[in-house]
Chain A
Amino acid sequence: MKISATVTLKKDVLDPQGKVVSQTLKNMGYKSVINVRQGKYFEIELNEADKEKAKKIVEEISKKLLTNIIIEDYTINLE
């Protein structure tokens, strides 16, 4: 079973990288770009057939390791 998790900075936290990417895109001519936030994408393959159980495991992994809960949030994407 493959489950992915996306980790992003919390809403009010400064994203220096996103800020520079956004500005660069504008400089490259993409005037319609308003804002960019940069995050991380994890693809986790599990030896678990039960969808609910797998989701629970990835939740736990996200909380315990993948996310810096002080400044980041995560979302689980089911395939």
Chain B
Amino acid sequence: MKSSVIVFPGSNCDRDIAVALEKFQINNQMVWHNETNLPKSDLVILPGGFSYGDYLRTGCIASKSRIMHDIIKHANGGGLILGICNGFQILIEIGLLPGVLLRNKKLRFVSKNVYLKVINIENQFCLSCVKKNIIELPIAHNEGNYFADDKILQNLEDNNLIAFKYCDEKGNISNNSNPNGSSNNIAGILNNSKNILGMMPHPERLIDPILSGEDGSMIFESLLKSQ
């Protein structure tokens, strides 16, 4: 499997995701935002961080990068795209995913481990979660509060396009287990053709037992399996 990680000025988690891809032996290239051509890739990753400092609107300025043209082509051709945290925000600004990511309800940055229920296992990012569908991953964000109008939310629910929802360690989905006020506790969503996943939590940060867990590995294992 070949992947490309897009690096924007201000991306911070590009190295972290590159380390994860290397660990799972996915052939990766780092691609600077200003390039016009995307190298041949099966998977494109928009990493986490603060592209352009989150200035103006988070993900907004990155969405105007030169490389976007090729990324949209890749998406329309059925290529896989994974947007993590800031990457999810960028996918929304480009228009490849619906809705908007607002400021966390408590108006504070939140960095901690949370539990997620894997709602849709039948996509190329989550196949491995069939063995464990309540996973623990870290979140670290200021604007993770997913919001969309009722029509969009209904569509997401009805068509099984929600990948993850925030839950407690037993899998119960409630206000108490919602760290940022997201509608329907949404933590990650897929597009209609299920080749694009946008998620707020960081799977690349939990791939090592010494870092308190390995649930993030399942995302990468799924991608390898899906080849």
Contact = CB atoms under 8 A, between A and B. Distances in A.
B147 interface: no
A24 B64 contact: yes
A20 B51 CA distance: 11
B52 interface: yes
A20 B64 contact: no
A63 B53 CA distance: 28
A27 B61 CA distance: 11
B55 A17 contact: yes
A interface, size bucket: under 10
A21 interface: yes
B interface, size bucket: under 10
B61 A24 contact: yes
B56 interface: yes
A40 to B, nearest CB: 13
Interface of B: 52-53, 55-56, 61, 64
Interface in A1-53: 16-17, 20-21, 24, 27-28, 38
Interface centre among A17, A20, A27 (most CB of B within 10 A): A20
A28 B68 CA distance: 13
B86 to A, nearest CB: 15
20 contacts: A16-B53, A16-B55, A17-B53, A17-B55, A17-B56, A20-B52, A20-B53, A20-B55, A20-B56, A20-B61, A21-B55, A21-B56, A21-B61, A24-B52, A24-B56, A24-B61, A24-B64, A27-B64, A28-B64, A38-B56
A64 to B, nearest CB: 20
Contacts of B53: 16-17, 20
A21 B52 CA distance: 9
Contacts of A24: 52, 56, 61, 64
Q: Which 9 A-B pairs have the closest CB atoms?
A: A17-B55, A20-B55, A24-B61, A20-B52, A21-B56, A17-B56, A28-B64, A16-B53, A24-B64
A9 B43 CA distance: 42
A20 B53 CA distance: 9
Contacts of A28: 64
B8 to A, nearest CB: 12
